[in-house]
């Protein structure tokens, strides 16, 4: 099976994360002499990461916030119950991905 057919199949199967990273990972795998398992592992990780990011983005968009708040706009000089580290951690939105 050729590269074009593989890319078409990835697109048909809606594996967008794999498709997006396919060329770069294939090139890297050739240069670094990866095994098939290593290449597959990296492709699966790319797909998983892409889906997590898409899901997180969808949740933020679905929240109907007028604008995603920027961390630079946060006033850290005001006394709050949260520390600067905690606020930065909240801003990463990992809590959404972890369903917390």
What is the per-residue pLDDT across 52-75, written as a single tens digit (0 to 9) for each?
Answer: 999 988 887 888 777 766 777 777
Q: Which pLDDT belongs to residue 63?
A: 80
Select from 24, 53, 54 the least CA-distant residue to 39. Answer: 24
Q: Which pLDDT belongs to residue 5?
A: 96
Total count of domains within the chain: 1
What is the per-residue pLDDT across 70-96, written as a single tens digit (0 to 9) for each?
Answer: 777 777 777 778 777 887 888 788 888
Quote the pTM value.
0.64
What is the per-residue pLDDT across 15-37, written as a single tens digit (0 to 9) for each?
Answer: 999 999 999 999 999 999 999 99
Q: Could you give the angle at the alpha carbon of 16 between the alpha carbons of 10 and 17, nearest 5°?
A: 110
Select from 58, 15, 65 the least CA-distant residue to 40. Answer: 15
| Residue linked to tokens 């990461």 | 49
Domain residues for the domain of 77 are: 3-97
Give the percent of the chain with pLDDT over 70: 98
Contact between 44 and 30 under an 8 Å Cβ cutoff? The reply is no
């Amino acid at each position: 099976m050729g590269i074009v057919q593989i890319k078409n199949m990835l697109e048909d199967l809606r594996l967008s994360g794999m498709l997006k990273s396919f060329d770069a990972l294939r090139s890297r795998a050739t240069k670094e002499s990866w095994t098939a398992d290593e290449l597959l592992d990296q492709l699966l990780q790319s797909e998983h990461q892409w889906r997590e990011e898409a899901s997180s983005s969808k949740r933020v968009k679905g929240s109907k916030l007028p604008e995603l708040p920027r961390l630079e706009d946060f006033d850290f000089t005001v006394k709050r119950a949260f520390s600067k580290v905690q606020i930065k951690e909240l801003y990463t939105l990992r809590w959404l991905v972890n369903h917390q």
